[in-house]
Amino acid sequence: DSRPDSRGPARDSRPDSRGPARDSRPDSRGPARDSRPDSRGPARDSRPDSFPRPERFSGHFSPPTECAPVFGTLNKDSQRLLSKFLDLSLDVLPLDSKKLQLLPDDIRALSHELTDDRSARRWGYMNDPATLSAYIRYYQWWNLVRLTRLFASLPLNLKDDDAAVDLGSGPLTLPIALWIARPDLRVKKLTWYCVDISSGALSAGEELFLRIAAETGVAPWTIIRIKGAMGVSLRKKAALVASANMFNEIFLEESGSIVDFAANQARDLASYAFDDASILVVEPGIPRAGNFISLIRRALIREGYAPSSPCPHSERCPFPGERNTKWCHFVFDTEDAPEPLKKLSAQANLTKERAALSFVFVEGKKIVKEEPVAEDVPSEENPVVLINSGAAGVAKIGESPLGMLSRMSDLFPPLRIRIISDPIRLPNYRTGRYGCSDLGMVLVTGSGRAGEYLQECHSGYCLELPRPNKKQLERDQKTGATLIPLDGWRSPESRPDSRGGSSRDDSSRGGSFRGGSSRDDNFRGGSSRGPNPRDGRGNRDDRGGNFRSGNPRGGSDR
């Protein structure tokens, strides 16, 4: 047993002439399958919820400068007044317990009369106490929600002793909304001429306004009620001429040209105003009303007024609201609306998830006499004479370098874009939103941080961007909108490619996207969720009022 074994080392201890074991030798094919990095990326279950943008499309992103949005934020006092509106209205127009219990039914009946059966609506229906009560508790309250958000951001410039005109005033919805939304204007000594054919609505509205003003402890504005229609004479010119939800009932029943109708109404509005006054027209956020707003905007420009909001320019409106075209309107979620209003809406089966409106706010231009240009004569103060010194971009005599730079910057103003649409999902993990600018309709796009920024934008946001090079602008092939990438992205066709050809990835192509939905389906407003958004009828909350312009079935929608 102790003798050495002549057969040599045991099989397990001798070296293997065949080389390393199969499992230990290096694999010429590369690392083992389980140890190799997976070029396909993480496993399906470990993928992030949001896809990162492709590296080849990555670019630097800095949030753009934001201008005044369409909808502002109400302070706590304004929110309190808006929430107490039902209680304050009951102080002015009390209801016994039985009538209060029947209020949701009255609201539904009024809704049917204002939307589905307009032909049967009575002349002067707002003089009926039950109708007026239902209108104030529902329609006026929702209109206050809309208008207060608008007034919170609107650049109004009213001074002591100014006069304002509210056409189709109904129960004074517009002055009440301005009082609630703008504490800074409550202290101004203003006189309001409130015009409507319904004396009952005007009387109830004045009492309601005085009750709300008393709640704030500030002396109220002077209210002058005028029973009449558009064209009624007033004692003095106004610094502000306004109407809210007045024209839509009239032009819906006009048999003539809506273009001529808008031009005539613009002349009438301007007749009430000083040359440097402001004019505000608010209508429901439906296509037909958006078309009217576009037309009256054009007519007011011809009357010498310049758009101030929401338009970031005075060029042709790129959202005219004509058949099969997009219309200018703005929406906001109603989650912050007063809880008593949402409860009453639910009881009447008229709930709202979003509120919408279309509007235009224009300002008159003061005529400034230009000073005569001094002759270009050299002197000790101006030893150098510059030829054509008044030309843009050329220094004037005695002008400082900073002054010249400031004047030259006017030659290249920033691009202002008003966001119109909801977020839109685009190819290449990009997000887009339609907007309005002096370039026309634009599609603002971005991915990664830029895409997240666009997701967080709200309808009515105003972005200020460096003006792009017109030679490098691209257009969306489906809508014709100018593409404005926030992250410097360019489509594959516009990139230099040594391989030639074009890439399959192109966010500027139209058509359908994942889920089978077209990007245009996301261009919606509060009214497009309802049935037949283009049938010319507004949302039920956009009806009411009783102002006429020589038409027995026209109306204010306040």
DSSP string, 81-104: HHHTHHHHHHHHS---HHHHHTHH
CATH of the domain at 463: 2.40.50
Closest CA to 153 of 63, 43, 280: 280
Residue 470: predicted pLDDT: 86
Residue 34: predicted pLDDT: 46
The yes-or-no verdict on residue 301 having pLDDT over 50 is: yes
Q: 494 and 358, same structural domain?
A: no
Residue 391: predicted pLDDT: 43
For residues 379-404, average pLDDT: 49
Q: Which amino acid is at 282?
A: V
Residue 363 lies in a domain: yes
**Domain span including residue 446:** 415-524
Using DSSP's 3-state secondary structure scheme, residue 464 falls into: strand
Q: 355 and 432, same structural domain?
A: no
Token pair for 531: 């049935």
Model confidence band, residue 492 (pLDDT cutoffs 50, 70, 90): low
Preceding omega of 310 cis (within 30 degrees of 0) = yes
Most confident of 280-284, 285-289, 507-511: 280-284
Q: 463 and 325, same structural domain?
A: no
Residue 399: predicted pLDDT: 60
The yes-or-no verdict on residue 159 having pLDDT over 60 is: yes
Model confidence band, residue 313 (pLDDT cutoffs 50, 70, 90): very high
Residue 527: predicted pLDDT: 36
For residues 522-537, average pLDDT: 40
Lowest mean per-residue pLDDT among 272-281, 329-338, 485-494: 485-494
443: which strand partners? 434, 483
The yes-or-no verdict on residue 305 having pLDDT over 90 is: yes
Using DSSP's 3-state secondary structure scheme, residue 246 falls into: coil
Query: Percent of the chain scored above 90 by pLDDT?
Result: 58
How many domains is the chain built from?
2
CB–CB of 66/464 below 8 Å? yes
Q: 362 and 419, same structural domain?
A: no
Mean pLDDT of the chain: 78
CATH of the domain at 215: 3.40.50.150
The yes-or-no verdict on residue 529 having pLDDT over 60 is: no
Residue 129: predicted pLDDT: 86
Lowest mean per-residue pLDDT among 125-134, 174-183, 513-522: 513-522
Q: 419 and 353, same structural domain?
A: no
Structure confidence by residue, pLDDT tens digits, 451-477 = 999 999 999 999 999 999 888 899 998
The yes-or-no verdict on residue 232 having pLDDT over 70 is: yes
- Encode burial over 437-462: b for 16+ CB neighbours within 10 A, e otherwise: bbbbbbbbbbbbbbbebbeebebbbb
Q: 347 and 428, same structural domain?
A: no
Lowest mean per-residue pLDDT among 109-118, 217-226, 373-382: 373-382
Could you tell me which residues come within 8 angstroms of residue 429 by beta carbon, excluding any fewer than 6 positions away? 51, 52, 53, 54, 447, 451
Structure confidence by residue, pLDDT tens digits, 64-102 = 999 999 999 999 999 999 999 999 999 999 999 999 999
The half-sphere exposure of 153 on its side-chain side, counting CA atoms within 13 A, is 16
Whether this model's pTM surpasses 0.85: no
Kindly write down the DSSP assignment for every residue of 281-298, as one continuous string: EEEESSHHHHHHHHHHHH
Model confidence band, residue 411 (pLDDT cutoffs 50, 70, 90): low
Q: 443 and 339, same structural domain?
A: no
Q: 465 and 345, same structural domain?
A: no
The yes-or-no verdict on residue 390 having pLDDT over 50 is: no
